[in-house]
Amino acid sequence: MNMTRFVTVCCLLLAGLSLVGCRIALLAVEGGDISSASGRYYCSEGRNCIVEITAADFSDTFTALPAEGYEFVRWRPGPDFLCGDVTSASCDVDNRGFAGNAAVEGVIATDYMYYLLPEFGPVQQEPPQDNLVPVVIVAPIYPRRAQTRGIEGFCELEFTVTETGTVAVDPGPQVVNCSPEGVFDSASIKAVLKFKYEPVVVDGQPTAVPGVRYTVTFELE
């Protein structure tokens, strides 16, 4: 797993800045939990948990744990939000190296708050193409020039089946691989545009199915 290294100096006075702090609020919103590598912290979905920074050498890794049906998107960006916009589910918070620093230890007792908020989203599932049931499959018209010259071949197309079971026109079928090149493209596209399928229903709703592939063959009898 790619770990995002994010060093946060909570409890550190920086010249000219007001970054002073000793607490981290873990905000476990809808869609998942937050755990820590140390095992000391676990914040369940819907809860707000406070991590008290009591030493200048604090170090831990917080991980966003998506609930079933959800996926991690990013850590929420914003002022005082740690790991903002990072898309790795793990956030490292590391203050090691500041133990014994008088300025750091002098403000351990302050109540400045940082925040750690994972954003989750529903898992995007493509409608399964296995559910496609063809109703109308139209044979292509053999290009006259290829037919008179005895040329055979094929054309693989990719297209989207709409919610009503027709083949989408905008964008229309796209050529994936045709052989010979440029011979059967047009005839294949015209045939596929006449195909019809039973509408695919997902969660009670008719759903478009993208990325459908079909190979049209041209063989002389």
17 within some domain: no
213/215 Cα distance (integer angstroms): 7
pLDDT the model gives residue 13: 34
Give pLDDT tens digits for 207-219: 899 999 999 999 9
Q: Which letter does DSSP use for residue 129 in this model?
A: G
Within 10 Å of residue 153's Cβ, how many Cβ atoms? 17
pLDDT of 8 over the 90 cut = no
pLDDT of 12 over the 60 cut = no
80/176 Cα distance (integer angstroms): 49
pLDDT the model gives residue 7: 35
pLDDT of 34 over the 80 cut = yes
Show the domain range for 114: 23-122
Confidence of residue 131 (pLDDT cuts 50, 70, 90): confident
This prediction's pTM: 0.53
Instruction: Output 157 or 7, whichever has higher pLDDT.
Output: 157
The contacts of residue 149 (CB under 8 Å, 6+ apart) are: none
Please give the torsion angle defined by the CA atoms of residues 154, 158, 161 and 162, in that order, rounded to the nearest 10 degrees: -130
Give pLDDT tens digits for 101-112: 665 555 455 667
16 within some domain: no
In the chain, pLDDT over 90 holds for what percent of residues?
65
The total of structural domains in the chain comes to 2
Which residue, of 56, 88, 122, is where some domain finishes? 122
Residues 117 and 133 in one domain: no
13 within some domain: no
| CATH number of the domain residue 168 falls in | 3.30.2420.10
How much is the mean pLDDT over the chain?
84
Instruction: Output 115 or 52, whichever has higher pLDDT.
Output: 115
Q: Which pairing describes strands 48-52 and 42-43: parallel, antiparallel, or unpaired?
A: unpaired
Average pLDDT over residues 69-98: 90
Average pLDDT over residues 64-84: 94
33/72 Cα distance (integer angstroms): 10
Give pLDDT tens digits for 161-192: 999 999 999 999 999 999 999 999 999 999 99
| CATH number of the domain residue 87 falls in | 2.60.40
Which residue, of 82, 104, 122, is where some domain finishes? 122
